[in-house]
Amino acid sequence: MADPMRIRAQAAGGVATVRILMAHEMETGQRKDAAGKTIPAWHITEVGATHNGKTVLSAEWGPAVAKNPFLQFNVKGAKAGDKIVVTWKDNRGDSRSDEATVS
Amino acid sequence: MALPGTPQADGPLSVLIATTYRKENIMIQTRRKTIQHSAVVAGLLAASGLFPQYALAFNAKAFEAKSVADALKAIGVGAPVESKEVSITGPDIAENGAVVPLGASTTLAGAKQLLLLVEKNPNTLVALFTLTDSVDSNVTTRAKMGQSSDVYAVAIMGDGRALFAKKEVKVTLGGCGG
pTM over the 0.95 mark: no
A1 in a structural domain:
no
* Domain-embedded: residue B49: no
Rounded to whole angstroms, the Cα distance separating A8 from B144 reads: 23
Question: Of B92, B100, B83, nearest to B153 (Cα)?
Answer: B83
- Overall average pLDDT of the B74-103 stretch: 94
Q: Residue A36 is part of which domain span? A: 6-101
| Mean pLDDT (whole number) for B38-65 | 60
Query: Is residue B144 within 8 Å of B177, Cβ to Cβ?
Result: no
d(CA A68, CA A62): 13
Most B CBs within 10 A among A19, A73, A82, hence the mutation to make, goes to A73
Contacts of B125 in chain A (CB under 8 A): 62, 64
Residue A61 lies in a domain: yes
- Quote the number of domains for chain B: 1
Mean pLDDT of B76-83: 91
Q: Could you list the residue range(s) of the whole structural domain that residue B139 is in?
A: 77-171
Mutate to test the interface with B, among A58, A79, A91 (most CBs of B within 10 A): A58
How many domains does chain A fold into?
1
- Is the pLDDT at B91 greater than 60, yes or no? yes
Listed in sequence order, the DSSP H helices in chain B are 12-48, 60-64, 68-75
CA distance B146 to chain A (A): 9
Q: Are B114 and A59 in contact (CB under 8 A)?
A: no
Residue B94's alpha-carbon distances to B99, B101, B103, B116, in angstroms, are: 8, 9, 14, 16
Give this complex's ipTM. 0.94
Task: Write the CATH number for B96.
Answer: 2.60.40.2470
pLDDT at B5 over 60: no
